[in-house]
Amino acid sequence: MMTDRESNLASDFARYPSLEGRVAFVSGGATGLGAEFVSQLAAQKAKVAFVDLDEEAGAKLATSIAERGDPEPFFQVADVRDIPALQQAIGRASEKLGPITVLVNNAANDTRRKVAEIDPDLWDESMAVNVRHHFFAAQAVWPTMKAAGGGSIINLGSISAHVDFVDMPVYITAKAGIEGLTRTLAREMGPDGIRVNCVIPGWIMTPRQLEKWVGDAEREKILSVQSLPEFLYPADVARMMLWLAADDSRLATGQTWVVDGGWL
């Protein structure tokens, strides 16, 4: 059970005036980290579009945000592995809400796979869902960000690329690649005022993680390897995302920003 402090984390955000009215696009935004990103961007009065394969969860999230009095996000069902469909969704979001100036590349799948189980098709599928769409979404928003005078692209990496996790070789490879992609896109897009950064979450206590992979042994490990012996929640990562999306971080680009409790 969450403590009172943990349950209140989502309300402890700073207000970023530069995000009000700004158009943001989030991939994989119906559940987990992505849902927190959508929710907190909307709480800043940004105009948010998001895509996900989970139609029920996406529609429910959009409705709940509107009912609390924040701008209702524009939800579309889209598979990030289908690049034309993803780019079309980005185009429709721009047409409906205005030029996208914040892109959060969040969609991912960290299903565990042993080395012996991985064949070329599984490798390609994992790369498609974990890293390929980052590039093509960034490519799609570049012209509108340039025309708007700049923007912020936030790629989601993972602590798994830096610590001792196993049974995730393709996922870890993809997440490590995102860090390199972030650096090169920051260089390519910087002259147009576009910032590109990578957020590296630690082991975040999302419903998926708690259901599938976090048991008593994992909780014990997390608390023993983090410098700050507390569990991390989506709101902890969203605070970093909001700062990078806002003008407060206007000269921060090409960097990795780690939110992992000080994993040693």
Q: Which CATH number fits domain 17-259: 3.90.190.20, 3.40.50.720, 3.40.190.10, 2.40.30.10?
A: 3.40.50.720
Cα pseudo-dihedral 87, 92, 98, 104, rounded to 10: -40
In Å, how far from its chain's centre is CA 229?
24
CA–CA distance, 155 with 37 (Å, rounded to integer): 12
- Domain boundaries in the chain? 17-259
Structure tokens at 254: 């090409």
The CA distance from 147 to 103, in Å, is: 15
Q: Is 100 helix (H, G, I), strand (E, B) or coil?
A: strand
Q: Which residues, listed in sequence order, are joined to residue 27 by a DSSP beta bridge?
A: 51
6 pLDDT above the threshold of 80:
no
Confidence band for 9, pLDDT divided at 50, 70 and 90 = very low
233 is catalytic: no
Is residue 3 scored above 80 in pLDDT?
no
242 vs 245: CA distance, rounded Å: 5
pLDDT in tens, 82-104: 999 999 999 999 999 999 999 99
Between CA 78 and CA 56 the distance in angstroms is 13
Question: In a 3-state reduction of DSSP, which class is residue 202?
Answer: coil
Residue ranges of E strands in 62-177: 74-77, 100-105, 151-156
42-86 per-position pLDDT tens digit = 999 999 999 999 999 999 999 999 999 999 999 999 999 999 999
Tokens of 184: 């090169």
pLDDT, tens digit, 9 for 90 and up, residues 10-42: 466 799 999 999 999 999 999 999 999 999 999
Give the E-state strand segments of 98-235 in sequence order. 100-105, 151-156, 194-201
From CA 169, how far away is CA 31, in angstroms rounded?
Answer: 24
Rounded Cα distance between 225 and 223, Å, is 6
| Selected catalytic residue, list 25, 37, 74, 171 | 171
Residue 13 dihedral angles phi and psi, to the nearest 5°:
-95, 150
Instruction: Encode pLDDT of 142-195 as tens digits.
Output: 999 999 999 999 999 998 899 888 888 999 999 999 999 999 999 999 999 999
The residues, ordered by sequence, that sit 6+ positions from 55 with a Cβ below 8 Å of its Cβ are 77
Residues in the chain, overall count: 264
Prediction pTM value: 0.93
